[in-house]
Amino acid sequence: MTLPTADTRVTYPAGALVSTGTVLHVETVGDRVAVVLDETACHPVDAAWPDQPADQATIGFGDDGTEVTVLDCVVGATDGTELYLGDAVPVKKGTEGWAFLAVHLIAGDAMTAAGAIEGATARIEVDAATRHALSAGHTGCHLASLALNAALADDWRKEVVLDTLGAPDFDALACESSRIAPHASTDRYRIGKSLRRKGFDPAALDDLEALGARIRETLDGWLDSGATVRIDRDGDGLTDRRRWHCELPGGPAVLACGGTHAASLTEFSSIAVWLEREEVDGAVVLSMVSTVVPAG
Ligand SMILES: [Zn+2]
């Protein structure tokens, strides 16, 4: 049993849907089999920040191996002695001596028939429609959170860290979870004691209708600009830094991001945003759901 010593090379940031790689490692995990390739187009879900779900994909081994369904694709890591998957990974990305991997999980009984053996070639094919919808949802998510920051810019009494467009970064300071879905996203923000201490006035969330209107106005302006979107990356490795880059009218917006995205805002006809607030354990929790409507 050999385990990889370098990160998986990933091609999904550039938009790849198909890849051919070599099987580096095969390991039984419960009733599934973990398959690690040197290169993949399949986006894995990252337990450390599970915003974008795994791609739906198939994997075929060798020249005539049957195609099997990738049941799940998760970020794993190894120190060379053991393979850890998902939230069992005990170290942070970038830890010396560890390789971070996209791990494809297939059904255990599918392995032998499919010919999943170390050294075999493996062809990944990602479901294009689902990827496209997730990419749209992810781009919409970034735009909605930047528009939320802008809409709340006057509701801070102290100086705090600013976002890429120069507004106080409510999103970075308050975001509890972010989930991307096909053509949609849900972000949850927690306004508790620590955010109040940083100078945020929760009364800003009293009139959600007005707040939503300001967000939509910003989003409409951005969509009208037809801005292009690209992913810049320091390298092909799974943990190499990648940045979402969107040429908005007020200047480029740049965010650290490991996901996949639309290529241009011309792909959308509108982005709808719903806001909801609730009290949870004495804190205010704001939920923002954004839905991207594809251009017809
Ligand atoms: Zn992102």
Enter the tokens of residue 70: 């990738």
Q: Give residue 176 CA to ligand 1 midpoint distance, Å.
A: 14
Report the pLDDT value the prediction gives residue 1, as an integer from 0 to 100.
Answer: 63
9-126 and 130-294 in the same fold? no
Distance 260 CA to ligand 1 centre (A): 8
Spans of all domains in the chain: 9-126, 130-294
CA 173-179-184 angle, 5° bins: 115
**Average pLDDT of the chain, as a whole number:** 96
Contacts of 251 (CB under 8 A, 6+ apart): 165
pLDDT at 113 over 70: no
**Rounded mean pLDDT, 188-215:** 96
Compute, in angstroms, the gap from residue 183 CA to the centroid of ligand 1: 14
CA distance 124 to 245: 27
Provide the pLDDT for residue 179: 98
CA angle, 158 then 159 then 165, to 5°? 135
pLDDT higher than 80, residue 114:
no
138 alpha carbon to ligand 1 midpoint, in Å? Answer: 6
Pair of tokens at residue 272: 């709808």
Q: How large is the average pLDDT for residues 268-285?
A: 96
Tell me: domain 9-126, CATH 2.40.30.10, correct? no
User: Residue 92: is its pLDDT beyond 80?
Assistant: yes
Global pTM?
0.96
CATH number, span 130-294: 3.30.980.10
What spacing in Å lies between the alpha carbon of 258 and ligand 1's midpoint? 6
